[in-house]
Amino acid sequence: MNAPGRSRSAAPFAHRLRRLRTGGLKPPIAEHDGRPPEPRPHTSVDCGWGRLLFAQTFADPGELARAMRGEAPERRDIAVYVRDPHLVLAAAPQDLFLDPSHTCRLDLSTYRSGRRRPRGFVVRRLCSAADLAEVNRIYLTRNMVPLAEEVMWRSLDHRVITHLVAEDEASGAILGTVTGIDHVRAFDDPERGCSLWCLAVDPQAAQPGIGEALVRHLAEMFKARGRAFLDLSVMHDNEQALALYEKLGFVRVPFFSVKRKNPINEKLFVGEPPEAGLNPYARLITDEARRRGIAVEVVDAPGGFFRLSLGGRSILCRESLSELTSAVALSICDDKTVTRRVVARAGIVVPEQIDGDDPKALEAFLARHGAVVVKPARGEQGQGVAVGLEDVASVRKAVEEARRHCEKVLIEACAPGLDLRLVVIDYRLVAAAVRRPARVVGDGQARLEELIERQSRRRAAATGGESSIPLDAETERCVQAAGFTLEEVPPAGTEVQVRRTANLHTGGTIHDVTGEVHPALARAAVEAARAIGIPVAGIDLMVGSVREPSYVFIEANERPGLANHEPHPTAERFLDLLFPQSIPAARRGGASSPGEVTAARGGA
């Protein structure tokens, strides 16, 4: 007779659920003589970012603690499968701490492959230096420790470590990565296990399901090798990752991880710092300041205000806007009509422009240019901006929308090409990136609105809530221009651009081109900053190609976001400007970093 509260249909599966729940407590698999096989003692695997130390291969907690204390500088070692963490921590309480992560397990004997195959990308092994560079780029955007190149290639010489990447079928870009460790080949694991590490997806990737595809590919590969289970470690508050793993069938098992107290792990064992409430753009600066020994005082976290102090020098900042930027320079950037006049006098190429209050000039302007841009004279983050308008009715509607943000509205000739952001600090080009409008890729099943919401959640999670795709009239207009409605299901693999503006705050993506920028574009950006008299600025140009000298000036941003330009040292150069005495000794001497461009005073 069934137990009370349990349905008849659930009974046949109860034994399987019990086996999954207690997976972490199973004894090792025994040999023919009844004794479990002995794993290779004192096993560690160098993963490129640090070592994995397998606690089950250490007979004594003190031995494991001593091994953990041997962590190399700039690395992140992890002791895994620790059953008695209190004993390990007691052996080195000043050096080690309990990692606040869950260990989750996928039983490969019951795992079934997904029905949906990846669309628009393929999963393959990492195989080149270019792949490694892209993987490290993704790691840096996710605040992960990058892989050491020499260790990477050594690990590829055998099959203990498997590095997989997801590659865009159209562009060849690397969209995501995951690492697998084969425990049998690492230390003759009697339980025939394996583990997953470092799952990371490019936050700017448009295709859905990349993370799931990487996990499934790794699980299927290890299942084919005859492995019994796939384990992983995930931070307790990583809700997005936990939801994915639970969906795939992972369950929690009672194992623990121990880490070394170091600067990389500091936030895990000292609690939240006072600047935890700042947005990612401010945190990037305050984190670098703390590394240099510069004191940080949060003035107003929601507004992004903080004070930096070193010795007798104290500077108030709002993200990358500091007291070194004058009120006059700020007011020039604040009014786009003034900005245009100032840079035009310095010889910078600007687009033709008319006042939005002049309806008589509109038709002639449209006839002359074919397409126009409508934007408020004041504002930021792409609010109220409409691009590529080709008829009077659309322009008038956009003008009314722009007036919700600023009474004065501008109409400019629409310059075709790429949206190029150049970050200028101390009149040197520090980073350059092409900004692309938000887009989604159809999977043949989800409605366009669902795809946009998924992509928006991914962008918000990756940027601390700074980037998302609004479902507003502008998005509907872009979707209709592409031949769809929000309720339609785009065919699998079909790319749909859902915004015209490339601002990060409306879901746009950033693609580094610092090493490719034509010197004439770099000079134009520096000269524009000099004309305004602003030491830190984001100069926006429209270009046909980043490798060609032609351009059209769009605007200057007095508070450019310094994040999302990895691996270029934007925050470092900002603090070099504010506190020259904090510049590391190795970089003192006044030499520009590779790719930095300066311009002589006086403009063109």
Residues 112 and 234 in one domain: yes
pLDDT tens sequence across 519-566: 999 999 999 999 999 999 999 999 999 999 999 999 999 999 998 887
CA-wise closest residue to 217 among 193, 199, 240: 199
Residues 248 and 109 in one domain: yes
With respect to residue 302, please indicate whether it lies within any of the assigned structural domains.
yes
Question: Distance (Å, rounded) from C-alpha 105 to C-alpha 267?
Answer: 26
Question: Would you say residue 13 has pLDDT above 60?
Answer: no
Domain-ending residue, one of 465, 480, 499: 499
Question: Would you say residue 455 has pLDDT above 80?
Answer: yes
Question: Are the beta carbons of 197 and 147 closer than 8 angstroms?
Answer: no
Question: Would you say residue 298 has pLDDT above 50?
Answer: yes
Give the position of tokens 């190609």: 545
- At 33, the pLDDT band (50, 70, 90 cuts) reads low
Residues 112 and 223 in one domain: yes
With respect to residue 492, please indicate whether it lies within any of the assigned structural domains.
yes
With respect to residue 279, please indicate whether it lies within any of the assigned structural domains.
yes
pLDDT tens sequence across 53-63: 999 999 999 99
Domain-ending residue, one of 446, 479, 499: 499
Pairing of strands 256-260, 78-82: antiparallel
Residues 186 and 280 in one domain: no
Average pLDDT of the chain is 87
Question: Distance (Å, rounded) from C-alpha 374 to C-alpha 396?
Answer: 9
Q: CA torsion 178→181→182→186, rounded to 10°?
A: 160
Percent of the chain beyond pLDDT 70?
A: 90
Question: Would you say residue 171 has pLDDT above 50?
Answer: yes
Residues 230 and 108 in one domain: yes
> 153 or 75: which carries more pLDDT confidence?
75
Residues 247 and 120 in one domain: yes
- Looking at the structure of the chain, the number of domains it has is 3
Question: Would you say residue 514 has pLDDT above 80?
Answer: yes
The pLDDT, as a whole number, for residue 558 is 95
Question: Would you say residue 401 has pLDDT above 50?
Answer: yes
Question: At 217, is the secondary structure helix, strand, or coil?
Answer: helix
Supply 190's token pair.
């009697």
The pLDDT, as a whole number, for residue 107 is 96
Burial class, 2, CB count within 10 angstroms (exposed 0-12 / middle 13-18 / buried 19+):
exposed
Domain-ending residue, one of 253, 288, 306: 253
Percent of the chain beyond pLDDT 90?
A: 52
With respect to residue 119, please indicate whether it lies within any of the assigned structural domains.
yes
Supply 383's token pair.
């609010």
Residues 202 and 139 in one domain: yes
- Beta bridge partner(s), residue 433: 421, 512
The pLDDT, as a whole number, for residue 20 is 46
The pLDDT, as a whole number, for residue 184 is 95
The CATH number for 186's domain is 3.40.630.30
Rank 37-51, 151-165, 246-260, 465-479 by mean pLDDT and report only the highest: 246-260
The pLDDT, as a whole number, for residue 10 is 52
- At 595, the pLDDT band (50, 70, 90 cuts) reads very low
The range of the structural domain enclosing residue 212 comes to 103-253
Supply 106's token pair.
């996928």
Q: What is the mean pLDDT of residues 375-400?
A: 82
Element (H, E) at 345: helix 336-345
Q: Find all residues with CB under 8 Å of 260, minimum gap 6, and list them.
A: 68, 69, 71, 76, 77, 95, 96
Residues 107 and 188 in one domain: yes
- At 257, the pLDDT band (50, 70, 90 cuts) reads very high
Residues 205 and 306 in one domain: no
With respect to residue 601, please indicate whether it lies within any of the assigned structural domains.
no
Q: Which of 47-51, 154-158, 192-196 has the lowest mean pLDDT?
A: 154-158
Rank 155-169, 231-245, 459-473, 578-592 by mean pLDDT and report only the highest: 231-245
The pLDDT, as a whole number, for residue 582 is 92
With respect to residue 233, please indicate whether it lies within any of the assigned structural domains.
yes
Residues 244 and 117 in one domain: yes
CA atoms lying within 13 Å on the CB side of residue 178? 22
Residues 117 and 237 in one domain: yes
With respect to residue 531, please indicate whether it lies within any of the assigned structural domains.
no
- At 204, the pLDDT band (50, 70, 90 cuts) reads confident
Residues 165 and 221 in one domain: yes
**Cα 302 to Cα 214, 278, 405, 489, distances in angstroms:** 37, 6, 21, 38
With respect to residue 87, please indicate whether it lies within any of the assigned structural domains.
no
Question: Would you say residue 234 has pLDDT above 60?
Answer: yes
The pLDDT, as a whole number, for residue 142 is 85
What is the CA 475 to chain-centroid distance, rounded? 23
Question: Distance (Å, rounded) from C-alpha 79 to C-alpha 106?
Answer: 20
CA-wise closest residue to 191 among 25, 46, 388, 379: 25
- At 327, the pLDDT band (50, 70, 90 cuts) reads very high
